[in-house]
Amino acid sequence: MSVAGLHLALFEPEIPPNTGNIARTCAAVGAVLHLIGPLGFSLHDRYLKRAGLDYWPLVDLRLHEDLEAFMRDCAGLPLYCVTKKAGRAHTEPDYPDRACFLLGKETVGLPEAVLDLNRERCIRIPMRSGARSLNLSNAAAIVIYEYLRQKNYPGLELGDRSEA
């Protein structure tokens, strides 16, 4: 199985370095990155470019004007909403070979309407009580690597395990 089945979508991201860091992670593992507008920054932002370093040519970046365009363009792709409002951990689902993880904007998360339409596929990253949220790029990396762990890291180099 190739990693081409892994998609990560950011709904109206607001902080350029977060998006740049996520782009770098997507490039490193071969995941498709969807940015759903309106964006809170320009794609030419120097902080966005700096956080992504020289990985930008490796990013399979897909832009969507708004949530409706994303839903239309990605119809048929199983969507998992990452939200603190979910009742089950990100490690519980047995992810299909093709999946998209949708993360909300840094300040308010995902719209309730999106969560309502996808309740059976809402997941959360466990945190201690009183913590509001994780950094968006950390949350993205956590769900990406759980998906990859379940698929035995397809297409990724693990190195020589005998030296561990």
How far is the first Cα of the chain from the last one, in angstroms, to the nearest whole number?
26
Both tokens of 72, joined, read 């239309």
Per-residue pLDDT, 53: 64
d(CA 103, CA 83): 7
pTM, 2 dp:
0.91
Single-letter amino acid code for the residue at 146: E
Per-residue pLDDT, 1: 38
* H or E segment and range at residue 6: strand 6-11
Per-residue pLDDT, 139: 97
Task: Describe the crossing of helices 16-29 and 136-150 by its angle, rounded to 10 degrees.
Answer: 20
**Residue 69 vs residue 55, higher pLDDT:** 69
d(CA 77, CA 2): 16
Per-residue pLDDT, 149: 95
The dihedrals phi and psi of 93, each to the nearest 5 degrees, come to: -65, 150
Q: Which CATH architecture has domain 3-155?
A: 3-Layer(aba) Sandwich (3.40)
Both tokens of 117, joined, read 């339409």
Whether omega for the bond prior to residue 38 falls within 30 degrees of 0, making it cis, is yes
- Going by DSSP bridges, is the β-strand pair 79-82/32-36 parallel, antiparallel, or unpaired? unpaired
DSSP state at residue 39: P
Q: pLDDT of 91-145, one tens digit each? A: 999 999 999 999 999 999 999 999 999 999 999 999 999 888 899 999 999 999 9
Per-residue pLDDT, 4: 65
Residue ranges per structural domain of the chain: 3-155
pLDDT at 57 over 80: yes
Q: Are 124 and 82 in contact (CB under 8 A)?
A: yes
